[in-house]
Amino acid sequence: MENFRYIDDIATLSLDKKACIGCGMCATVCPHQIFEIQEKKANIMDFDACMECGACAQNCPTGAISVTPGVGCASYIIANWLYRLTKKKVNSVCC
């Protein structure tokens, strides 16, 4: 999505090339086309486009990818903060 960019240098995504077997699953599932397979290894082509959805890590058969997955939604994060403060469940409009 070239016309939509979010904050740079902040995603929790990391790739352990030694563990990668080049199966290509990460490239298939990433909705932002962040990975490319070159010489039987995955490469992160566009780190800053990562939305931390977790699809790549979930589908990597060798556990070569790590990312802290979650929903990028302010009202969900506020609901979580309130939950930690009050121990009461707060509904958020996010999905």
Partner 1 sequence: MEPYVNGFVETPAGLVPRVRTTLLGSDIRETIVTRIGFGRSDFKVIPGLYCVGNPTPQSPVLVTANYKLTFDAVRKELGGLNVWILVADTRGINVWCAAGKDLFSTEEMIISVRSARLDEIISHREIILPQLGAPGVAAHKVRKGCGFKVIYGPIRAEDLPRFFKRGNKTDEAMRMVSFPIKDRAVLIPVEIFLLSKLLAITALASFVLSGFGPDFFSFSAAWTRGLGAVCATIFGILSGCAVVPLALNKLPWREFWPKGALTGAVAGIICALLFSGTLGYLESTALVLWTIAVSSYLAMNFTGSTPYTSPSGVESEMRRGIPIQAGTALLAITLWMIAPFTG
Which chain residues interact with ligand SF4 by CB under 6 A? 13, 20-26, 29-30, 32, 34, 37, 42, 50-56, 60-62, 64-65, 67
Is residue 21 involved in binding partner 1 (CB under 8 A)? no
Number of Cα atoms under 13 Å in the Cβ half of residue 64 = 20
Residue 54's Cβ-count burial label (10 Å; 0-12, 13-18, 19+) is middle
From the CB of 16, what's the least distance to partner 1, in Å?
17
Q: Quick one: which of 43, 45, 46, 54 contacts partner 1 (CB under 8 A)?
A: 54
Distance CA 81, CA 84 (A): 5
Is residue 17 within 8 A of residue 64, CB to CB? The reply is: yes
Q: Which residues contact partner 1 by CB under 8 A? A: 1, 3-7, 10-12, 25, 28-33, 49-55, 58-59, 61, 68-78, 92-95
